[in-house]
Amino acid sequence: MEKASLRFEKKDCMGCHACEIACKQEHALGVGPRLVWVKEQSPDYIPVYCHHCARPPCGEACPVDAISRNDQGIVLIDAGLCIGCGECVQACPFGAMQFEDQREIAVKCDLCIHRLAENKQPACMSVCPTGCIHLDGKKSIAAVFENKIYQEI
Amino acid sequence: MEEVKKVKTVCRSCHGGCGVIAHVKDGKVIKVEGDPESPISHGTMCSKGLSITQLAYHPDRVLYPMKKNGEGWERISWDEALDTVAGKFKEVKEQFGPEAIMIGQGTGRDFESHFSRFGNLLGTPNMITAGHMCYLSRIGAALITCGRHPAIDYANNPKCIVMWGCNPLWTNPDEYKGVSFWRAYQKGARLIVIDPRKGFLSKKADLWLQVRPGTDAALAMGFHNVIIEEGLYDEEFVWQYIHGWDTFVDRVRKDYPLERVEEITWVKQDLIRRAARLYATTKPAGIHWGVPTEQTINCTDFTRAAVGLMAATGNLDAPGGNVFHQPPGTRSISEFSSHKSLSNEQRLKQLGGEQYKLAARMTIVTPKCAWDAILTGKPYPVKAGYLVGTNPVITRANANEVYEALKKLSFLAVSDFFMTPTAELADIFLPAGTWLEQNHVSENWKFHGYVLARQKVLEIGECWQDHKIFMELGKRMGQQWWDTVEDALDWLLEPTGLTWEEFKEKGYLHGEQKFYKYREKGFSTPTKKVELYSTILERWGRDPLPKYTEIPESPVSRPDLTEKYPYILNSGLRTPTFFHSANRQIPWLREIRPDPIVEIHPATAEKHGIREGVWVWLESPRGRVKERARLNEGIDPRVIVAEHGWWYPEMKGPDHGWDISNINMLTDNSHESMDPVMGATNLRVLLCNISRCEEQEEE
């Protein structure tokens, strides 16, 4: 199965944080979990995001198998199964797994799977002014959704 | 449950212009997205615009007109609110004359036309805006030099871009948005960045000139020196179209040899030479300049020198250079504002008009003159005010004086979304509508040739768009307005042959693009040429040629202060999440930037025992404030760079922590520190010291 994931070109990330807000809006998240976030180390910006790993450590750490990888290679968490133990948050080497205090569950990037199905770019990618966010694993996603989401802005 | 309805509109979380598709369900905006068809933003949106739902539905938002009684704020009706304001204004007008009422707005809020019309019909020349040091000052300087504001022409692919004190990717760029710059850059344009601080763009640049803050005008004269010395100017253009070229050349040669420019600006001669060559020899080349060049004593001179660079290199009104975009054919803001209604007698009473002649010509009052009049009663008393979408206690120089002045007014009305530290000083609060709650022909005041349809998506509480507040208040003052907001827009659009309803469907209009218009008509100046030697400044008894004036509070001009205040404070560092004093209460944005940031060089930090993330005191001759330290190797160890616009909405009113981290507690607004013709206040460059706060909050 081919890997589907976001890829940020760090050199073109200019630290505007628009991706973060677009993501929060799309996933109706409040303060706390940041499924994508940009660390600032003046004058550099370091995007932190889910890599949708082929063998996701978050999934391996989950004691109740709430995290799985779907046919397009998107690593998803089942909110109904999550027991909020936080093991996955500890396990993620990228710091991308997040915890939502309100619902006491782990939350993660789902690559805006509902948007992909509508032939739309993930929310973060759609707003980036420098176009530094890309979808890797183009072929598999494109084959599934026959979309045009890779057009550069 | 309703289906989701999608409404096209236009953002205004900064100066606006980005196309938006608002998703509405059950009478509520549930989401906003960028509009891919927008000619300005091409589908992108920034963090501020994307957070509009958190602003519009914020629990602290004031949704009803309020009046202050002995115990605090009390809800009242619109009728009572407007009658109260109109009644007070009539009293003041009768007793002291209309000039005793000042009206004020903040940064460009897209209601300039209504703001000025209200003031003009009221008969007060005292309309306070940010124009003395932001954008309008650029336009004023360009007006007397070449007749119109020459905006960079990204649409026609400049091959070289000079980004001068500006980061359009982060903050409001006035004309085109960051994405237009980025597209031109991605097509291979060479990039020269002039910035005291290393940021994203300086890292991308072919050449980065780390200028001493406030010395941009000297650097521009250095560019001229290279261009003249090496004969890189457009021979035909300079002799045919520049007034005073030879006198200007004398000034440049005599006063701005590169060794002197290096001494003033801290930029190495070789780098100045390479940058000037790159700009002058790459065609077309455009200059994109920002407010740091305007917010000092050199405001007018910098823009004049920059226009001189465009002219000398033949890039003026050339495609891909700096061009005079043609307006889109609507009635102009000036016509809507009815400037002719203000009698000459009243116009002559404009505060500071005698001293700041270019400001007077642009109908701009520098706020210092208003504070003086309120506090001293001279040259005449100012008794009442109406402030709209502005928070001067935070954003104007010398915050203590601003606070005292506003407190002293006998009557103040404020229109805003929230109870800001400024609004808390008012007697009447009028609840304004956000850009989701407005019908407007937006951008009519800018110089990029577009107008765009901002259409009302919904109404919230009893909030009114400011345009409507001006209209209804104006009518109560006996002024002539239209019945509805939309009727006024119909009139504004009339010359285009469109009604508001038709324009709304169309989305936007763009003026016809024509270049080299001067070849037929010359430039709109008294000599019909680019006036590097300004006949207007000469008539006003000012230096007719551009120059650099040393910053009044710098290590050069005030060596006596440097023992106590050894650093240059470069105030006004922008953030991508906030627009001046706005947005500190928006949860998504505050999470990204919870604290005010001051950047210092690691060597400076070490000297003062400052670690990354600790709270530090910044102290100037006028006061001290605290911000959180961040280390940046990309600034000069002699310079400290601090954010502006901070107050703490979460802190108890009426103060809301207005004086804790407000950088304008430190800035100076003395007349000696301002641009002599525009009255631009120095919000950018002063002397300071830094020390670690004794007590540290959680780090």
Q: Is A115 helix (H, G, I), strand (E, B) or coil?
A: helix
B50 touching A, CB under 8 A? Answer: yes
Q: Output the average pLDDT for chain B.
A: 96
Instruction: List CB contacts (< 8 A) between B202 and chain A.
Output: 43
Residues B302-314: tens digit of each pLDDT: 999 999 999 999 9
B598 touching A, CB under 8 A? Answer: no
Counting beta carbons within 10 angstroms of the beta carbon of residue B486, is it exposed (0 to 12), middle (13 to 18) or buried (19 or more)?
middle
A142 touching B, CB under 8 A? Answer: no
Instruction: Among 1.10.3720.10, 2.40.40.20, 3.40.605.10, 3.40.640.10, name the CATH number for the domain at B559-692.
Output: 2.40.40.20
Chain B nearest-CA distance from A131, in A, is 9
The pLDDT of residue A118 is 87
Q: What's the mean pLDDT in B15-27?
A: 94
Q: State whether A130 and B182 contact (CB < 8 Å).
A: yes
pLDDT band of A141, cuts 50, 70, 90: very low
Instruction: List CB contacts (< 8 A) between A20 and chain B.
Output: 47, 588, 592
Chain B nearest-CA distance from A70, in A, is 27
The pLDDT of residue A140 is 41
Q: State whether A21 and B589 contact (CB < 8 Å).
A: yes
CA distance B667 to B684: 8
- The alpha-helical segments, DSSP class H, found in B189-231 are 200-204, 216-229
pLDDT band of A138, cuts 50, 70, 90: low
Chain A nearest-CA distance from B508, in A, is 20
Q: What is the separation of C-alpha B259 from the centre of its chain, rounded to a whole number of angstroms? A: 33
The pLDDT of residue A137 is 59
Q: Please enumerate in sequence order all residues whose Cβ is within 8 A of that of A87, keeping only pairs 6 or more positions apart, or say none.
A: A61, A62, A63
Chain B nearest-CA distance from A63, in A, is 31
The pLDDT of residue B41 is 92
Residue A139 has pLDDT above 70, yes or no: no
Mutate to test the interface with A, among B18, B588, B627 (most CBs of A within 10 A): B588
Q: Please enumerate in sequence order all residues whose Cβ is within 8 A of that of B290, keeping only pairs 6 or more positions apart, or say none.
A: B164, B165, B166, B167, B173
Residues B90-126: tens digit of each pLDDT: 999 999 999 999 999 998 889 999 999 999 999 999 9
Q: Output phi, psi for B127, to 5 deg.
A: -110, 115
Q: What's the mean pLDDT in B227-240?
A: 98
Chain A residue nearest residue B589, CA to CA: A21
Residue B565 has pLDDT above 60, yes or no: yes
Residue A79 lies in a domain: yes
Residues of chain A numbered 29-68 and touching chain B (CB < 8 Å)? 30-32, 34, 40, 42-43, 45
Please compute, for residue B641, the number of CA atoms within 13 A of its CA located in the half-sphere on the CB side: 26
The pLDDT of residue B285 is 98
- Centre a 10 Å sphere on the Cβ of residue B77 and count the other Cβ atoms it contains: 11
A115 touching B, CB under 8 A? Answer: no
Chain B nearest-CA distance from A128, in A, is 6
CA distance B98 to B122: 7
Instruction: List CB contacts (< 8 A) between B587 and chain A.
Output: 30-31
Percent of chain A exceeding pLDDT 90 equals: 73
Q: Please enumerate in sequence order all residues whose Cβ is within 8 A of that of B294, keeping only pairs 6 or more positions apart, or say none.
A: B133, B134, B135, B137, B138, B302, B303, B680
Q: What's the mean pLDDT in B328-350?
A: 95
Q: What is the domain count for chain A?
A: 1
B575 touching A, CB under 8 A? Answer: no
Strands (E), B298-446: 322-323, 384-388, 411-416, 428-431, 440-442
The pLDDT of residue A144 is 43
Chain A residue nearest residue B30, CA to CA: A25
Chain A nearest-CA distance from B29, in A, is 12
Residue B688 has pLDDT above 70, yes or no: yes
CATH class for the domain made up of B147-326+525-539: alpha beta
Instruction: List CB contacts (< 8 A) between A127 and chain B.
Output: 34, 43-46, 50
Q: Which residues is B384 bridged to in the sheet?
A: B101, B411
Residue B287 has pLDDT above 50, yes or no: yes
Residues A112-124: tens digit of each pLDDT: 999 988 888 999 9
Chain B nearest-CA distance from A2, in A, is 29
- Count of positions (residues) in chain B: 699
ipTM of the complex: 0.94
Q: State whether A43 and B47 contact (CB < 8 Å).
A: no
Residue A153 has pLDDT above 90, yes or no: no
Instruction: List CB contacts (< 8 A) between A22 and chain B.
Output: 45, 50
Q: Output the average pLDDT for chain A.
A: 87
Instruction: List CB contacts (< 8 A) between A128 and chain B.
Output: 44
Chain A nearest-CA distance from B473, in A, is 37
CATH code: domain B66-135+331-443+450-510 is 3.40.50.740
Q: What's the mean pLDDT in B439-457?
A: 92
Q: Which of A127-136, B33-42, B76-85 has the highest mean pLDDT?
A: B76-85
From the list B47, B200, B631, the residue facing A20 with the nearest CB is: B47
A21 touching B, CB under 8 A? Answer: yes
B623 touching A, CB under 8 A? Answer: no
Chain B nearest-CA distance from A129, in A, is 5
Q: What's the mean pLDDT in B354-379?
A: 96
Long-range contacts made by residues B77-84, C-beta under 8 angstroms, separation at least 24? B78/B462, B78/B464, B78/B472, B81/B428, B81/B430, B82/B472, B82/B473, B82/B476, B83/B476, B84/B427, B84/B428
Q: What's the mean pLDDT in B68-77?
A: 95
Residue A150 lies in a domain: no
Contact B222, B276 (CB under 8 A): yes
CA distance B460 to B265: 51
Residue B350 has pLDDT above 80, yes or no: yes
- Higher pLDDT pick, A119 / B229: B229
Percent of chain B exceeding pLDDT 90 equals: 95
**Per-residue exposure over A123-149, b if at least 16 CB sit within 10 Å of its own CB, e if not:** bbbbbbbbbbbbbbbeebbeeebebeb
From the list A43, A45, A127, the residue facing B34 with the nearest CB is: A127
The pLDDT of residue B447 is 86
Residue A153 lies in a domain: no
pLDDT band of B177, cuts 50, 70, 90: confident
A20 touching B, CB under 8 A? Answer: yes
A25 touching B, CB under 8 A? Answer: yes
CA distance B174 to B162: 16
Q: State whether B44 and A127 contact (CB < 8 Å).
A: yes
B46 touching A, CB under 8 A? Answer: yes
From the list B44, B199, B576, the residue facing A128 with the nearest CB is: B44
Residues A25-55: tens digit of each pLDDT: 999 999 999 999 999 987 889 999 999 998 9
Q: State whether B169 and A129 contact (CB < 8 Å).
A: yes
Q: State whether A153 and B179 contact (CB < 8 Å).
A: yes
B170 touching A, CB under 8 A? Answer: yes
Mutate to test the interface with B, among A121, A130, A152 (most CBs of B within 10 A): A130
- Centre a 10 Å sphere on the Cβ of residue B483 and count the other Cβ atoms it contains: 9
Chain A nearest-CA distance from B589, in A, is 8
Q: What's the mean pLDDT in B605-610?
A: 97
Domain of residue A40, CATH code: 3.30.70.20
From the list A34, A45, A129, the residue facing B179 with the nearest CB is: A129
CA distance B351 to B341: 18
Q: State whether B630 and A42 contact (CB < 8 Å).
A: yes
Q: Could you list the residue range(s) of the whole structural domain that residue A26 is in?
A: 5-145
Percent of chain B exceeding pLDDT 70 equals: 99
- Centre a 10 Å sphere on the Cβ of residue B444 and count the other Cβ atoms it contains: 21
Q: State whether A127 and B50 contact (CB < 8 Å).
A: yes
Residue A152 lies in a domain: no
Calculate the CA dihedral of residues B586, B589, B590, B594 and round it to 10 degrees.
-170
For the whole model, what pTM was predicted?
A: 0.96
Upstream peptide bond of B421 is cis (omega within 30 degrees of 0): no
- Centre a 10 Å sphere on the Cβ of residue B23 and count the other Cβ atoms it contains: 16
Residue type, B646: W
Residues of chain B numbered 277-336 and touching chain A (CB < 8 Å)? none
The pLDDT of residue B698 is 56
**In chain B, where are the structural domains located?**
66-135+331-443+450-510, 147-326+525-539, 559-692
Mutate to test the interface with B, among A12, A16, A20, A119 (most CBs of B within 10 A): A16
Q: What's the mean pLDDT in A59-88?
A: 95
Please identify which residue in the block is written with the tokens 């091409």: B42
Residue A67 lies in a domain: yes
Q: Output phi, psi for B353, to 5 deg.
A: -60, -35
Q: What's the mean pLDDT in B11-34?
A: 95
Q: Is B40 helix (H, G, I), strand (E, B) or coil?
A: coil
Intra-chain end-to-end CA distance of chain A, in Å: 28
